[in-house]
A and B are shown apart, each in its own frame.
Chain A
Amino acid sequence: MQLMDHQFSQRVDQWINQRVTPHSLNWQRESQWPIREWVKSLASSNLAVAGWPAPHGDSDLHKQLYLHYALAREAPGSIGLCITSHLDIGARCLLEKANPQLAEQWLRPALRGDALLALAMTEPQAGSDLQGIEFRAEKAEHGWSLSGIKRGITNLPFADAVIVLARTAPGRSPFSYSLFLLPMNTRGVVRENALPTLGYIGCLGGMQVENAIVPEENVLGSPGAGLILLMQHLATERLFVSARMRGISELLLEKIRRHSASHPALVADLIIQCEAFNAYFEQCVENYIRQEFPAKESASLKYLGCRLLKNLTDKLCELDGVTAYLNNEYTEIYHREAMGLSLAGGSEEIMLAIIGNEL
């Protein structure tokens, strides 16, 4: 990955080597994710948001992308995904959309690791079709009353607050939805146990909410603009998820090449796919920085990353033989996670629908 500040990348690598790598497989086996400690440690090492806009960082987006890329390579499982979801999906959403009061209350603690965030869109009956969500918010005397169920949300088993998409008007108009910050200790919020998932074990959860009241200032952006804001934010999410996919894909390719050193023809095609994805990723990053990163492009990037990752994990499974079927071996872990990442931020079919709508 292109990163001009080599000192920063060395510091990230060093942090991962010291704080994550020695424990990574144990955490994986026990499904224990000390995410709060990681964020605190990243923050105290000045690594958490070094690439954020001022005053938090120096606006070098590549630094943020490198952080998630490197975490994906070196720390399988939920570790990297939880940090990405907290920092550059959850907290970044607050940075861009919260009013100053809300930002002061939640953003600063979030960046210190004192508060963990999640972004909740998916529901038991609505994942791909966000306009079909049932989670609703109604105007109440002192703000908004929220009710409904969210499920399959990264970080929800341990989040302190959730950015939640809720319906604020009937019908499927894009202006029928709003975004709220919902503290998990709000009366009426019941956290569910983590879902028993194939990958990212222990970090995907749900909540049941009934008449939870949040104040007016907890609305992110304008009421009714939630879906539009979320769509814009999803482009950001897909970029960061793609950085993770790039990290994993390069790692897998290295493993595949070691397996097939005497048969280069076996992997030539995968090398080409990786080169192509990397080139497209860099192009997308440049476009994102120039603020010319349309939904179609973010969807293409995500779709291509999913395809690449699945191709690589399938090939590694073929080459690894029985090891690929042993619990908590790298190949087995990444095979499960490739499927999980292909769902995060929208499945491949949704990506194709986004691209297809603009043909």
Chain B
Amino acid sequence: MLMENSLHSLLQSEISAGLEARVATLNHSEVLAGVQTDSATSLMRLLGERALICDLVLRDPPTSWMLLNVHAAHWLATRKAAAAVELVLHQLHTAFPLLEQLGAQSSLANSLSIQLLRGETLVARIIHSLDLAATISARKNGDGWLIQGELPVCLIGPDTQFILLPVASAYTGKLDIFLLPCNADAVQIVSRAPVSGDENYALARINLANVQLNPECHLGSIARESYQHSLSIHQALSAITNNQSSKMTLTATIEFLRNRLVNGTPLLKLDVLQQRLAALQAELSMSQALAYSTLYAQRTETFSRLANASYEAARKLHQTITAECLHLGGINHYRTDSEVANSYQQSRWMNFFSEFSPATVLAR
């Protein structure tokens, strides 16, 4: 496979030589200053310039992979554009591994995976793709395929060119993966709602009204478990991004309350405020422990369940922390240029991206 052959040999020496140093550049303000607007493409290209994308999808050795992803997740949490971040994570942890697996079956998948690594193309994010796979129909039509169905919620942006569509096969029990160009005639965007805080990105409802595809657009088929695994990795890393955003918000608020005086005493010294923050700090430590231990468990049977739990825990905590911190900062945190206000908005918005219903997965 691409990962194990070309990428691995290409990057092995570079990883051992300078992984830490290159990760460090992610936090460097000069690098960040170069990106005026956070878009999924610019984020991907930035990661590419630092030769990090390849590392981010390289899972061997797993420790380096995890370390790097954690760093990247931390870094992505600093970005203001939650939609772009969500798309980037999707490319790295769902789309690329999928294309990489299909590379053996399809040369188109192979070339697309390389374009994706270079930040030259992006695929849209289908919400609840696994559940939807059973509702889409794909049948052979002459040489090609005819696709019919509906995608109720899809994250799209100006840079998204394709949809990677999983369709459950009634015969093999596997998932057939199709590549749909977003601009194909029969791919109809029925409604498009711009996301809060970034109108370039939207949640779209897409109707697939007899989309006729060429044979090569059927990229191949993969096991359902394999697809689910990449969604779980996405969740586990999103948990880290959520936690990191929570941490930044909490730190900013603590700093604010430390400097804000009432009758000469810092607000932070007031028990009633300090204890609220302490409780949040404890919850955050726990959520972080869960997220990291989940990544360590990625080769175990419990991974999917843990990934879901860690994502849910981090997502809910992110909402709680940002709401509390917005409140504690008063009007200062209510301003649109406030980091806390931004986190608050994004935490609500990112609520959409729970891939599975927690009750379903945990009950399973």
Q: Chain B 265-277, CB within 8 Å of chain A: the 1/0 string?
A: 0001001001101
- Interface membership of B286, Cβ < 8 A: yes
- Please state if A353 and B278 are interface contacts (CB–CB under 8 Å): yes
Q: Residues of B contacting A304 with CB < 8 Å?
A: 282-283, 286
Q: Residues of A contacting B271 with CB < 8 Å?
A: 353, 356
Nearest Cβ in chain A — how far from B14, in angstroms? 31
Nearest Cβ in chain B — how far from A140, in angstroms? 40
State which size class the interface on B falls in: 20 to 34
Nearest Cβ in chain A — how far from B295, in angstroms? 11
A355 to B283, CA, bound (A): 11
Nearest Cβ in chain A — how far from B60, in angstroms? 25
Interface contacts beyond A280-B286, A283-B292: sample of 10 additional A-B pairs, CB < 8 Å, sorted by A: A269-B358, A272-B362, A276-B286, A276-B310, A279-B289, A283-B293, A349-B275, A352-B278, A353-B274, A353-B275
- Interface membership of A359, Cβ < 8 A: yes
Query: Chain A CB within 10 Å — which of B271, B360, B362 has the most?
Result: B362
Q: Which of A264, A269, A275, A352 meets B279, CB within 8 Å?
A: A352
- Please state if B313 and A272 are interface contacts (CB–CB under 8 Å): yes
Nearest Cβ in chain A — how far from B246, in angstroms? 13
Q: Chain A 109-135, CB within 8 Å of chain B: the 1/0 string?
A: 000000000000000000000000000
Question: Who on chain B is nearest to A277 by CB?
Answer: B286
Q: Residues of B contacting A95 with CB < 8 Å?
A: none
- Interface membership of B363, Cβ < 8 A: yes
Q: Which of A265, A275, A297, A351 meets B359, CB within 8 Å?
A: A265
Question: Who on chain A is nearest to B364 by CB?
Answer: A264
Q: Residues of B contacting A351 with CB < 8 Å?
A: 278, 282
- Interface membership of A144, Cβ < 8 A: no
Query: Chain B CB within 10 Å — which of A268, A277, A297 has the most?
Result: A268
Q: Give the interface of A toward B (CB within 8 A).
A: 264-265, 267-269, 271-273, 275-277, 279-280, 282-283, 297, 299-300, 303-304, 349, 351-353, 355-357, 359
Nearest Cβ in chain A — how far from B236, in angstroms? 12
- Please state if A275 and B275 are interface contacts (CB–CB under 8 Å): no
Question: Who on chain B is nearest to A260 by CB?
Answer: B363
Q: Residues of B contacting A265 with CB < 8 Å?
A: 359
Q: Which of A282, A300, A353 meets B285, CB within 8 Å?
A: A300
A interface SS class: helix
Nearest Cβ in chain B — how far from A345, in angstroms? 15
| 17 interchain pairs, CB-CB under 8 A | A268-B358, A268-B362, A271-B309, A272-B309, A272-B313, A273-B313, A275-B309, A276-B313, A279-B290, A279-B293, A283-B292, A304-B282, A349-B275, A353-B275, A353-B278, A356-B277, A359-B281
A355 to B306, CA, bound (A): 27
B interface SS class: helix
Q: Residues of B contacting A299 with CB < 8 Å?
A: 282
Which 4 residue pairs across A and B have the least CB separation, nearest first?
Answer: A264-B363, A356-B274, A265-B359, A355-B278
- Please state if B289 and A280 are interface contacts (CB–CB under 8 Å): yes
- Please state if A356 and B278 are interface contacts (CB–CB under 8 Å): yes
Q: Residues of A contacting B310 with CB < 8 Å?
A: 275-276
- Please state if A359 and B286 are interface contacts (CB–CB under 8 Å): no
Q: Residues of B contacting A272 with CB < 8 Å?
A: 309, 312-313, 358, 362
Q: Residues of B contacting A268 with CB < 8 Å?
A: 312, 358-359, 362-363
A275 to B279, CA, bound (A): 18
Question: Who on chain B is nearest to A349 by CB?
Answer: B275
Q: Residues of A contacting B274 with CB < 8 Å?
A: 352-353, 356-357, 359
Q: Residues of A contacting B362 with CB < 8 Å?
A: 264, 267-268, 271-272
A16 to B287, CA, bound (A): 33
A299 to B286, CA, bound (A): 12
Question: Who on chain B is nearest to A300 by CB?
Answer: B282
- Please state if B275 and A352 are interface contacts (CB–CB under 8 Å): yes
- Interface membership of B254, Cβ < 8 A: yes
Q: Chain B 289-309, CB within 8 Å of chain A: the 1/0 string?
A: 110111000000000001001
A151 to B30, CA, bound (A): 61
Question: Who on chain B is nearest to A261 by CB?
Answer: B363
- Please state if A282 and B281 are interface contacts (CB–CB under 8 Å): no
A131 to B280, CA, bound (A): 27
Q: Residues of B contacting A359 with CB < 8 Å?
A: 254, 268, 274, 277-278, 281
- Please state if B279 and A297 are interface contacts (CB–CB under 8 Å): no
Q: Residues of A contacting B282 with CB < 8 Å?
A: 299-300, 303-304, 351-352, 355
Query: Chain B CB within 10 Å — which of A276, A282, A304 has the most?
Result: A276
